[in-house]
Structure 1
Amino acid sequence: MVKKIPMRKDIVSGEMFPKKELVRVVKNKENEVSIDPTGKKQGRGAYIRLDVAVAKQARENKTFEKSFGIKIDPSFYEDLIAYVDHQVARMELFGNGK
């Protein structure tokens, strides 16, 4: 039996990707925006591809501000870029878990 791969839209490019290739960012009821490595945090989620260039583009275009309709501290984008960079390095080191 072929397992269905959950797909999500990258809000920077507008393209669909397997959920494993994306990082979820979530805004909770208190309007706090955070990276959601588990994909299970409460709140409104938005996804971007695990790609440093995409994370930097999100920062330049203020993608999450537009998506969530709130002001986001610039340090969040720095954390996001560092997180994405780390995840990409891990995937290169350990493969993508297949």
Structure 2
Amino acid sequence: MSAQHSETPVPAPLPLKTIGDIRAALRSGHGFPGDRETFEADLQHALETSTETDLNAIAAVIVDYRGRIRLYQDPEFDIAVQEGIDLAARLKQEAQER
């Protein structure tokens, strides 16, 4: 018999095509702590500093927070963060032992 792997179910990606989708995801608790508030502040700043012909700052805010939400949803993200923390702790300990 072969061993079965128990995989963590991957949640379906959230629809993040509009500002409303991003707001809804952040209201539902997706994203990092504080993202809900900082998204609105960053979006407001981008709107205030953009011109009618250059909306790149607004697009950058949308892309940034869409990425944050997707990172937060990724089950592998927590594992990668913990690996980074463990590596930093090990490197610090090795440096102190020298």
Q: Is the TM-score greater than 0.5?
A: no
Greater radius of gyration (CA): 2
Determine which structure has greater relative contact order: mean sequence separation of CA pairs < 8 Å that are 6+ residues apart, divided by chain length. Answer: 2
Between structures 1 and 2, the one with greater strand share: 1
Please report the TM-score for the alignment, with normalisation by the length of structure 1: 0.29
Which protein is richer in helix relative to its size? 2
